[in-house]
DNA sequence: GTGCGAGTATGA
DNA sequence: CATACTCGCACC
């Protein structure tokens, strides 16, 4: 049945067995004249096809001849089916050519799946960059870049774009707070490709907040006849930005594109972009490859949010995808957030992004006042506060603010692994050998490095000289009921995993939320309590401080500004020791923190100042890969450390400039393993945002 | 991954 | 010498 030669000729399923056998053995007569020998296309008879083999060593284009019947439809970018090594596989036509480079005989294309050219040249170019960057295959990246076809969606969508009146350049009210903003927008409107990192000023007025800011930038691109792509971490952000875009652009100029909208809706949105029906796309990381026409602006919000990391191979970060696209399409680039991630700080330092921050005085007025309430030793003095396990300062602030409006309470999620820090100064304890975090693998076990697996034995804190280690376990459970009892008569709402609220009313109430699930309050919260600060700070990850500050800033940005009496209380942080993330929150200086953190990581040779890769798999297989001959000079191998019964992990570290060479060597090693059919698979991950876990 | 040819082992 | 089987590699 799978035999292509006999399928049409034998004329029935009930063919005699002996005859079948004879047919199979016979030296297949090479295509006699007849229906099989179809005429070929007149021009550009050869199609270059990227076949989705799923095999690393076959991740390159193959040539096929184009039958006359497909001469018009088999254009670059369309999906095709081809015969490859005896099976029917999918692929994309990358190009058409008059003559073949391949010396041997070419097989004809089997079928054009759809005449829709879903893979544009620009997206292909960016995909290639991303594949190289992450030592992945182009096939893997294209699977992320082009959504699965949905035939019904393709049929249903009218091909003629709706008529939309031209858009005038918007007033850019939200941008008025950013002195360098005008020149960025002017360059964007003029068809240039400025690249910037922006620290957003919090604003409780929706016309001035970050969604309005990004929407105005998008509208500037549209008014100049260019398109815009806006990527945000989650669907709540998509919803907020959608509202802002409608306000600035009117209807019919933008479309949402997220993975959670389902195959048909997603493909419909994709097609509306591809066919040029809308110039603006807003979405989650699934939208990062959207084929926007005449792309003028690529922007993403909150670089540090881990939702920007793609969890499927080759695990690209939205930042890297958009950087690649900006380069490929000469588009402007804008990353904005209340916080600045360390990778973004590095891009700023390297001059690849210019800063576009709100001036510090404006920031400090727009932001709430921040107080640190200590670790809770004073809690017992106030009985009502003790009921809620709140420091009394926090309790008093909340009590007062509740007269005036809603109060946000941020409670970290429980269940983090214990990590170790210095008992005296509370800085994270690091491995003296490789700089990795020290932690406990089991209760009672000696402290061990989570990267190289060594057990350093004695400990001396490089910062204060202390010798004692402290295991941080997430503190007391704070429940909505406890808080409710501490504030009788006040309505309590919760927002967290499972039930996330987008918005709450502006009247007095307690809103208890886990980080990332904080609802917006119209007019802003009167106050926010950030509880269990150490639970965020003590996470056994490289990015703990960065992440803690980012989450605090996100919650604090929903609070009214200093001028309007907004207050934030950080509870559960030490008052005596100076913790950079805490200091940065109090001073509202995220740029200072990011630059400082970058400096520290450089001193310790930690990401993102070095190139890193993790190899995860059976010990021997991972070790064999780490010995790949083509690895660039200066690669250090750390580990192995066990990650499960079967698998171990090796960490490769190289100078940052050696990143491309490291990726190339690992891609080659993967291809070699694939060609040799090595059964044990090794997962290769380049520059994982947190290599320590 | 599959299919195939070269090369080698095996037995009449 | 014919047939069975493994190995290595190309796959357009």
Q: What is the pLDDT of residues A600-628, one digit of tens each?
A: 999 999 999 999 999 999 998 999 999 88
A17 CA, C1 C1': Å apart: 30
φ and ψ of A487, to 5 deg: -130, 75
CB A421 within 8 A of CB A469: yes
Q: Which nucleotide is nearest to A55 (CA to C1')?
A: B1
Asked if residue A560 lies in contact with residue A368, where contact means CB atoms within 8 angstroms, the answer is: yes
Distance of CA A456 to the CA centre of its chain: 35
Which of A153-157, A184-188, A465-469, A515-519 has the least mean pLDDT?
A465-469
The strand order across the sheet containing A469-472 reads A448-449, A438-439, A419-422, A469-472
Token pair recorded at residue A117: 């050219």
pLDDT confidence band for A159 (50 / 70 / 90): confident
Q: Can you tell me the mean pLDDT for A53-80? A: 97
Instruction: Give me the mean pLDDT over the A126-148 stretch.
Output: 97
Given this model, what pLDDT does residue A12 score?
34
Look at A374 and A75; give whichever has higher pLDDT: A75
pLDDT on residue A680: 81
Q: Protein contacts on strand C: list nucleotides below 7 Å from a Cβ.
A: 9-12
- Most confident segment among A396-405, A409-418, A488-497: A396-405
pLDDT at A468: 79
Q: Which nucleotide is nearest to A100 (CA to C1')?
A: C12
Distance A654 CA to C7 C1' (A): 38
Q: What is the pLDDT of residues A463-501, one digit of tens each?
A: 678 887 766 433 323 457 778 888 899 999 988 877 889
Q: Report the pLDDT value the prediction gives residue A497, as an integer from 0 to 100.
A: 72
Nucleotide nearest to A674 in CA–C1' terms: B1
Q: Note the pTM of the prediction, 2 decimals.
A: 0.88
A104 touches strand B (CB under 7 A): no
pLDDT value, residue A423 = 65
Residue A439: what pLDDT?
75
Mean pLDDT of A584-596: 97
* pLDDT (mean) for A400-407: 97
Q: Is the CB of A163 under 7 A from strand B?
A: no
pLDDT computed for residue A101 by the predictor: 95
CB A258 within 8 A of CB A266: yes
Q: Is the CB of A414 under 7 A from strand C?
A: no
What nucleotide is nearest A106 when CA is compared to C1'?
A: C12
What span, in angstroms and rounded, lies between the C-alpha atoms of A677 and A670? Answer: 10
Higher-pLDDT residue of A412, A663: A663
Provide the percentage of residues in chain A whose pLDDT is more than 70.
87
Question: Per-residue pLDDT tens for A498-532?
Answer: 788 999 999 999 999 989 999 999 999 999 999 88
Of A587, A187, A560, A580, nearest to A356 by C-alpha is: A187
Q: How far apart are CA A87 and CA A454, in angstroms?
A: 49
Spacing of A21 CA from B9 C1' in Å: 26
Average pLDDT, chain A: 88
DSSP characters over A199-212? EPPP-SSTTTSHHH
Question: What whole-number distance in Å separates Cα of residue A228 and Cα of residue A253?
Answer: 10
Q: Is the CB of A677 under 7 A from strand B?
A: yes
């Amino acid at each position: 049945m799978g035999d292509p030669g006999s399928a049409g000729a034998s004329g029935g399923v009930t063919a005699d067995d002996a005859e079948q056998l004879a047919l199979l053995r016979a030296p297949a007569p090479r295509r006699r004249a007849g229906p099989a020998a179809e005429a070929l296309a007149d021009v550009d008879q050869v199609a270059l096809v990227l076949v989705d083999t799923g095999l690393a060593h076959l991740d390159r284009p193959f040539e096929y001849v184009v039958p006359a019947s497909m001469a018009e439809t088999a254009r670059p970018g369309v999906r095709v089916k081809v015969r490859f090594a005896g099976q029917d596989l999918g692929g994309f036509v990358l190009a058409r050519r008059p003559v073949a480079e391949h010396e041997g005989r070419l097989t004809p294309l089997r079928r054009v799946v759809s005449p829709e050219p879903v893979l544009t040249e620009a997206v292909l170019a960016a995909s290639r960059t991303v594949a190289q960057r992450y030592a992945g295959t182009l096939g893997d990246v294209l699977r992320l870049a082009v959504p699965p076809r949905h035939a019904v969606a393709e049929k249903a969508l009218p091909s003629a774009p709706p008529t939309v009146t031209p858009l005038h350049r918007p007033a850019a009210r939200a941008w008025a707070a950013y002195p360098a903003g005008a020149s960025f927008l002017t360059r964007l409107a003029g068809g240039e490709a400025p690249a910037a990192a922006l620290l957003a000023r919090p604003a409780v007025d929706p016309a001035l907040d970050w969604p309005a800011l990004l929407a105005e930038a998008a509208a500037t691109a549209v008014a100049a006849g260019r398109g815009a792509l806006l990527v945000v971490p989650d669907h709540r952000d998509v919803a907020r930005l959608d509202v802002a875009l409608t306000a600035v652009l009117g209807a019919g100029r933008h479309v949402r594109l997220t993975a959670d909208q389902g195959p048909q809706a997603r493909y419909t949105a994709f097609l509306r972009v591809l066919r040029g029906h809308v110039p603006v796309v807003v979405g989650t990381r699934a939208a990062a490859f959207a084929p926007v026409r005449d792309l003028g602006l690529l922007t993403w919000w909150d670089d540090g949010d881990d939702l920007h990391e793609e969890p499927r191979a080759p695990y690209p970060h939205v930042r890297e995808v958009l950087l690649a696209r900006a380069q490929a399409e000469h588009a402007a680039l804008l990353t904005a957030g209340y916080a600045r991630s360390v990778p973004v700080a590095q891009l700023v330092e390297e001059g690849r992004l210019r800063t576009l921050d709100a001036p510090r005085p404006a920031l400090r007025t727009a932001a709430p006042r921040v107080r640190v309430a200590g670790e809770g030793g004073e809690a017992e003095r106030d009985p009502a506060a003790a009921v809620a396990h709140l420091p009394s300062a926090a309790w008093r602030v909340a009590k007062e603010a509740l007269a005036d409006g809603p109060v946000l309470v941020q409670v970290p999620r429980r269940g983090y692994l214990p990590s170790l820090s210095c008992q005296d100064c509370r800085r994270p304890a690091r491995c003296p050998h490789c700089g990795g975090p020290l932690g406990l693998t089991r209760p009672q076990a000696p402290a061990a490095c989570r990267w190289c697996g060594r057990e350093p034995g004695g400990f001396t804190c490089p910062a204060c000289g202390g010798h004692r280690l402290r295991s941080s376990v997430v503190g007391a459970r704070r429940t909505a009921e406890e808080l409710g009892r501490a504030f009788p008569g006040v309505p309590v709402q919760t927002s967290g995993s499972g039930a996330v609220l987008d918005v709450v009313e502006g009247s007095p109430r307690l809103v208890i939320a886990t980080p990332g699930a904080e609802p917006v309050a119209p007019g802003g919260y009167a106050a926010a309590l950030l509880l269990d600060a150490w639970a965020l700070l003590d996470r056994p990850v490289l990015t703990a401080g960065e992440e803690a500050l980012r989450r605090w800033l996100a919650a604090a940005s929903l609070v009214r500004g200093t001028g309007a009496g907004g207050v934030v209380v950080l509870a559960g942080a030490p008052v005596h020791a100076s913790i950079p993330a805490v200091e940065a929150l109090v001073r509202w200086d995220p740029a200072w923190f990011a630059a400082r953190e970058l400096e520290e990581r450089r001193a310790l040779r930690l990401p993102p100042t070095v190139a890193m890769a993790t190899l995860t798999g059976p010990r021997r297989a991972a070790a064999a890969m780490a010995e790949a001959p083509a690895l660039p000079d200066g690669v250090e191998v750390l580990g192995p450390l066990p990650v499960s019964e079967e698998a171990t992990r090796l960490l490769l570290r190289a100078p940052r400039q050696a990143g491309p060479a490291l990726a190339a060597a690992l891609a080659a090693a993967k291809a070699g393993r694939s060609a040799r059919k090595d059964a044990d698979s090794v997962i290769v991950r380049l520059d994982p945002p947190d290599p320590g876990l």
